[in-house]
Amino acid sequence: MEIISGSARGVQLTVPAGMLIRPTAVRARKALFDSLGDFSGVRAADLCAGAGGLGLEAASRGATEVLFVEKEFRHCNILERNIAAVAKAGVSADMQIRNCDLLETNRWCSGMFDVIFADPPYPVSANLFNTLLKEHGAQLQTTGALLIWEIPDTPGAKGFFMRPEGTFRKFGATEFLLLDLETLQI
């Protein structure tokens, strides 16, 4: 897996062997970021960050702050290496890691964000999404962010993510829900 664009373009990221982490497909990540436009000055969060592909892509494209939220400690070690690699390539964003579950919003959701990426493990994605919005929706609204959630590729999964405020974008086989948290109906 590599950074696609920006000041760290071409930097190879470390990803653990096996299926512990399922990075967003390169083509889908490129199409998503290209559709979002300029990331200069953006404050981003990458939930269930894994190797950090989404957050590091944002940093490479000009985000000034990226918060990586990752529950698995061993993945945090990989994130540290990947952050160091993109920093060495010239990325100057303030990049921090929080080793916690995304539902522990009191540990990561204290600031303002422009965009929040979420790509949880597919088997628990719908449950995390619905729990996060139901139990922490009001707190999420205060971030003012656009939530971008990668939809599991299992048949019928999209139905668990339907929200009147959201729109879906599909890039190849990968689909994302884009949800403006400011307009979230709680």
pLDDT value at 110 more than 70: yes
109 burial via Cβ count (<10 Å: 0-12, 13-18, 19+): buried
Domains defined along the chain, listed by start:
31-183 (3.40.50.150)
What is the pLDDT, as a whole number, of residue 18? 65
The 10s digit of each residue's pLDDT in 34-62 is 999 999 999 999 999 999 999 999 999 99
Q: With pLDDT > 70 as the criterion, what percentage of the chain qualifies?
A: 98
* DSSP 3-state of 41: coil
Average pLDDT, stretch 73-98?
96
Residues 30-34: contacts with CB within 8 Å, 24+ apart?
Answer: 30/4, 30/5, 31/171, 31/172, 32/148, 32/169, 32/171, 32/176, 33/4, 33/5, 33/57, 33/58, 33/61
Structure tokens at 54: 């989404």
Could you give the CA distance from residue 180 to residue 153 in angstroms, rounded to a whole number?
Answer: 22
pLDDT value at 166 more than 60: yes
pLDDT value at 23 more than 90: no
What is the pLDDT, as a whole number, of residue 91? 97
Average pLDDT, stretch 80-104?
97
Higher pLDDT, 69 or 1: 69
What is the pLDDT, as a whole number, of residue 21? 64
Question: 168 — phi, psi (to 5°)?
Answer: -105, 140
What is the pLDDT, as a whole number, of residue 78? 94
Average pLDDT, stretch 149-154?
93
pLDDT value at 19 more than 60: no
Query: pLDDT grade, residue 130 (50/70/90)?
Result: very high
Tell me what the pLDDT averaged over the chain comes to.
93
Average pLDDT, stretch 122-148?
94
